[in-house]
A and B are shown apart, each in its own frame.
Chain A
Amino acid sequence: MNKTVNPNDLKPAGDVGPLYAARKKVYPQSVSGTFRRIKWTLMAICLGVYYFLPFIRWNRGLGAPSQAVLIDLPNSRFYFFFIELWPQEVYYFTGLLIVAAVALFLMNSIGGRIWCGYLCPQTVWTDLFYAVERLVEGDRRERMKKDASTDPMKLERISEIVLKHSIWIMIAWWTGGAWVLYFNDAPTLVKELVTFQAPMIAYIWIGILTTTTYLLAGYMREQVCTYMCPWPRIQAALTDEWALNVTYRYDRGEKRTSVKKAAELRALGQQVGDCVDCYQCVAVCPTGIDIRNGPQMECIQCGLCIDACDNVMTKIGRPKRLIGYDNDINIHRRQEGKAPIYRIVRARTIVYSAIIAAVGGFMVYTLATRSLLDVNVLHDRNPVAVKLSDGSIRNAYTVRLLNKSGYDRVIAIDADGPVNSTIHVVGVDSVTPDRPMIVIPRDSTSELRLLVTAPADNNPEKSIPVHFHVTDIGLGVVASATDNFVSP
């Protein structure tokens, strides 16, 4: 498509010259249509979940937090409905991140930047801020006119600006406010916040998120996607020829001209495209680009240009989807008179789906089968074995018991070490000889010093395995660990 241009024909445009340029403000026009409706719906869902999730209650019994989703930093616990995670189970988050990353790749291989266009917080909040701007200051033309006006500001204009920023800051403040609710009991914290009794850190975080939301959604907007976000670059490298992207279908002909001229040219039997050069796709674009120039890094593929173009095509009686989710393969096929083909199911999407299913399945399996009672055993290193006065051999172990359930457990410890060996827990006088019993409080760990003694007449060989069984004597749940019994 590139053709050689004679440099002498070119006049330096306005932006030629400086190495640094001011942002050109974008004034997206309102639009209605399928994709706009999808975006409104997703925005309502995303913001609804974000703002109200901390208020959902979940009964975990006495002494445990009753918030459905809670990151309890002081006690190092993460609660998600019926799931409670400990710091050592952080690998579930790793799994979640793997699933999230591959899901992003899958979206990309099916429909391009679905994440960017519909789900990314930057897009959602910017969209909301634009909606506020439109409501207060009017649509594209009005806003452009007001910004360009050099007349002294009247009270009406000043109040408009004040109102817009007030609403923005309120939304931003609520964004920060919802954030801190994930880290503390929401109703309690709200009460504390309004009575100015909440911890300083809560106010600081609200301040940080209010500022970032206000700046990123109110001012930075598409520049976050263009200059700050790495995903556009990664996405461009990950995409393939079958992925559907928001595309201007140049197979619908060139050249682009007005409806009237096009009719005249068609009457003369000349080639004319469906595009009537109305610039509606440019006017509605939140990143201020022209989709007809082909795929661009700035394009977040929100689909609003599709709605704008469809509205125009309907009015002038041409087929819809001059701009649509499509790819170059189909454009070429149509140019050759062949039917388009869509390959949603192909090696790439199958592999991505398989990875998501495998990692997700593994996570669900481990989560469903994980034990809420666990035991870790660490053999003493120095000395590894002790000879007692009667010639018997004793090994000492540090035993850590984990009770992840919401109730206290009474457990008994058994060890099948050397023949006739006895076990003893330091500091525990058990009523059952050789079977120490201990209470582990709910949602906690206990560290014990455990001694295994083998009688003198039956000293084991150099090293034999010892299996430790921890039994919840009430519920019969067993956790096990294996270590070695060593002779000096």
Chain B
Amino acid sequence: MTDHSSDIDSVSGRSTTGHEWDGIKELNTPLPRWWVICFYLTIVWSIGYWIVYPAWPLIASNTTGMFGYSSRADVAVELANLEKIRGDKMVALGAASLADIEKDPALLALARAKGKTVFGDNCAPCHGSGGAGAKGYPNLNDDDWLWGGTLDQIMQTIQFGARSGHAKTHEGQMLAFGKDGVLKGDEIVTVANYVRSLSGLSTRNGFDAAKGQKIFAENCAACHGDAGKGNQEMGAPNLTDKIWLYGSDEASLIETIGQGRAGVMPAWEGRLDPATIKAMAVYVHSLGGGK
């Protein structure tokens, strides 16, 4: 670098920085001094930053800074604050009756939001993220309920489950008529076809309706009722509607009658707090099928 103070550009008459590229020189246009001072100040500032905040990586950790700041701790504080804000509202939710929650738009919105989150975490593995269900796992959007679809009944099912082992759980199961030797093979086929006929589905050629009705009355009507309308006290499904938890085709029905069914809904009491269970009951009820 040449001495820029004596290198004068002949065209403009101004001094150059001494930098030259293929004969083209850069004129010296001085920066304002305050600008340079600001630049040095930012360097000083950065040193202060190193001291105050976590900055330098060490072998296993990093410098923590004077105030021990960490963004993770910030998140923890924010989350705690959020819980606190929700806490007040959740208390209100816990205090209100189920029916009142559905009538109060603010509480309904809160219960639906809270219920949706909790549903996603706890219920979605079986019932699906939107409660659409799957074979053996009821669809919670429809109006067909094994154990009842009122707010109270839904809440009871969530609290205590079905065949869950809880003292207050729903009991009752579909017996294995074939496996236990109660019905013979052809009897099972006949009653399966009879059950299909209850909801207007097609039946096998040569199907003896009278025989089917007799078998049904002797073996099934105790739980499912004479007309096959089901019984929510025992979780016995309505056999005359269009909704089939394990399938309505003949093979599925033969399997159901022959092997029995006993799906388990866990009890959530003790695992989730009462207000949360309430919120979930309201959420499930509001999916659209609630009575």
Instruction: Report which A residues bind B (CB closer than 8 A).
Output: 2, 4-7, 10, 12, 15-23, 223, 227, 380-383, 386-391, 394, 396, 426-427, 446-447, 449, 451, 456
Contacts and interface: CB of A to CB of B under 8 A. Distances in A.
B286 interface: yes
Contacts of B34: 23, 223
B36 A20 contact: yes
Contact of A381 (B6, B102, B130): B130
B209 interface: no
B30 A5 contact: no
A19 B30 contact: yes
26 contacts: A5-B11, A6-B10, A15-B30, A17-B15, A19-B17, A19-B31, A20-B33, A20-B35, A21-B30, A21-B31, A21-B32, A22-B33, A227-B32, A382-B130, A383-B130, A386-B132, A386-B142, A387-B242, A388-B144, A388-B242, A389-B142, A391-B241, A394-B288, A427-B102, A427-B108, A449-B288
B287 interface: yes
A16 B15 CA distance: 6
Given A16-B8, A23-B34, A387-B243, 4 more contacts: A20-B33, A380-B130, A386-B141, A447-B109
A383 B14 contact: no
A387 B139 CA distance: 9
A6 B132 CA distance: 90
Interface in B159-200: none
Given A18-B30, A19-B30, A389 B143 contact: yes
A10 B288 contact: no
Contacts of A427: 102-103, 105, 108, 286
B129 interface: yes
Contact of B286 (A4, A426, A446, A456): A426
A382 B6 contact: no
A99 to B, nearest CB: 34
Which of B32, B103, B131 is packed against the most chain A CB atoms within 10 Å? B32
A390 B242 contact: yes
A390 B241 contact: yes
B238 A389 contact: yes
Contact of A223 (B15, B32, B108, B130): B32
B242 A16 contact: no
Interface string B5-19: 110101111110100
B136 interface: no
B128 interface: yes
A487 to B, nearest CB: 13
B289 interface: yes
A388 B142 contact: yes
Which of A10, A23, A426 is packed against the most chain B CB atoms within 10 Å? A426
Contacts of A6: 10
B128 A426 contact: no
Interface string B97-113: 00000110100110010
B280 to A, nearest CB: 15
Contacts, number: 110
B30 A20 contact: yes
A151 B158 CA distance: 91
A382 B133 CA distance: 10
A22 to B, nearest CB: 5
B4 interface: yes
B203 interface: no
B259 interface: no
A10 B139 CA distance: 93
Given A5-B10, A389-B143, A389-B243, A16 B5 contact: yes
A426 B103 CA distance: 9
Contact of B8 (A10, A19, A387): A10
Contact of B32 (A23, A381, A388, A389): A23
Nearest to A11: B8
B232 interface: no
A321 to B, nearest CB: 30
A436 to B, nearest CB: 13
Contacts of A380: 130
B150 interface: no
Contacts of A20: 30-33, 35-36
Q: Give the 4 A-B CB pairs with smallest separation, nearest first.
A: A382-B130, A389-B241, A21-B30, A383-B132
B231 interface: no
B12 to A, nearest CB: 8
B33 A389 contact: no
A446 B105 CA distance: 9
B276 interface: no
B148 to A, nearest CB: 14
A20 B139 CA distance: 76
A10 B6 CA distance: 10
Nearest to B102: A427
Contact of B11 (A2, A386, A391, A426): A2
A19 B28 contact: yes
Contacts of B130: 380-383
Contacts of A387: 142, 242-243
Contacts of B35: 20, 227
Nearest to A391: B242
Which of B36, B109, B143, B286 is packed against the most chain A CB atoms within 10 Å? B143
B105 to A, nearest CB: 7
A386 B288 contact: yes
A389 B10 contact: no
A7 B15 CA distance: 10
Contacts of A391: 241-242
A21 B219 CA distance: 104
A386 B32 contact: no
A12 B15 contact: yes
A266 B131 CA distance: 101
